[in-house]
Amino acid sequence: MLKGSIVALITPFENNALNEEVYRKLIHYHMKNGTNGIVPGGTTGESPTLSHDEHKKIIEISVKECSGKIPVIAGTGSNSTSEAVELSKFAEKAGSNALLVVTPYYNKPTQEGLFQHYKSINDSVGIPIIIYNIPSRSVIDMSVETMARLYELKNIVGVKDATGDLNRVDQQLKLMGKDFIQLTGNDDNALEFNKRGGVGAISVTANIAPKLTSSFQKACVENIEEATKLDRILQPLHLSLFIESNPSPVKYAASLLGLCNPTVRLPLVELKEENKKKVSEALKVAKLL
């Protein structure tokens, strides 16, 4: 269930407020174009600047609109364990299929602190939990050994690995086995990640290229030559979407495709003029424009 091309869904705003109508349209756009799962309230969804009510609202909308057709993996992480527990319990009650929980940022917990944080969430819910390990944003890196300890708990089922270190795929596979779900958080390394034992991506690029990214993920399983071909097409797009802090570039790309406006919330700002052309050119290379 938790594999393939899973979109880290952008959150559309209008006059700095959540645009619920456009959010619903985005979800249906993904269901029509082969996306294998939806993540509401992740980093790409600007979770740090969503109010708690907005965060809960996008989870509710996602569950309702997906209506069991594709899984909803709700982003429910926080650097406050009690807040993460509360939001995770809400997401489960709302009907989410799984949770994506980022390592606590800013606090810099020890490995034991990380274990206890996730254990508290695990003990509070009854649905699968994906660990989101992203040292570049949260400062701390969960060790493979800590991950293995967590995998012994009833609800911890896998990782969104955004370390950028492909050796981690091998290490995690060796220690946890093939049933431990490994999803990359880096679109640009998805081909090699899958070759080493990964089963998909929680993708930024999927926001604007759902057909391409889902076809790529399917080809990784069925036809590696086709996957390699699609990867070459996608690479310029992957790179352009991180030319500035995510999600400013992907929201600009989405605006060019008529999906939503490019508005982001402070402290993020819209894409610089000199970088807009680079995003536009990458869309053209992928034949999206």
Could you tell me if residue 265 is inside a domain? Answer: no
Could you tell me if residue 89 is inside a domain? Answer: yes
Cβ atoms of 95 and 106 closer than 8 Å: no
Cβ atoms of 248 and 10 closer than 8 Å: no
Would you say residue 138 has pLDDT above 90?
yes
Could you tell me if residue 287 is inside a domain? Answer: no
Active-site option among 23, 57, 118, 132: 132
- Give the whole-angstrom CA distance, residue 92 versus residue 88: 6
Q: Which residues sit opposite 38 in a β-bridge?
A: 7, 72
pLDDT score at 1: 83
DSSP 17: E
Domain around 51: 4-220
Could you tell me the CA-to-CA distances from 151 to 102, 122, 199, 253 in Å, in that order? 15, 10, 17, 37
pLDDT score at 288: 97
Cβ atoms of 196 and 168 closer than 8 Å: no
Q: Does residue 106 have an active-site annotation? A: no
- Give the whole-angstrom CA distance, residue 139 versus residue 95: 31
Is the whole-model pTM more than 0.85? yes
What's the order of all strands across the beta sheet hosting 181-184?
Answer: 37-39, 4-8, 200-203, 181-184, 156-161, 129-133, 98-102, 73-75
Number of structural domains (the chain) is 1
Could you tell me if residue 52 is inside a domain? Answer: yes
Query: Mean pLDDT, the chain, as a whole number?
Result: 98
- Give the whole-angstrom CA distance, residue 195 versus residue 169: 10
pLDDT by residue (tens digit) across 213-233? 999 999 999 999 999 999 999
Could you tell me if residue 249 is inside a domain? Answer: no
Could you tell me if residue 147 is inside a domain? Answer: yes
The C-alpha R_g of the chain, in whole angstroms, comes to 18
Would you say residue 140 has pLDDT above 90?
yes
Active-site option among 3, 56, 57, 160: 160
Could you tell me if residue 225 is inside a domain? Answer: no
DSSP 40: T
Q: Does residue 25 have an active-site annotation? A: no
| CATH number (domain holding residue 209) | 3.20.20.70
Could you tell me if residue 233 is inside a domain? Answer: no
How many other C-beta atoms can be found within 10 angstroms of the C-beta atom of residue 68? 9
Q: What amino acid occupies position 113?
A: G
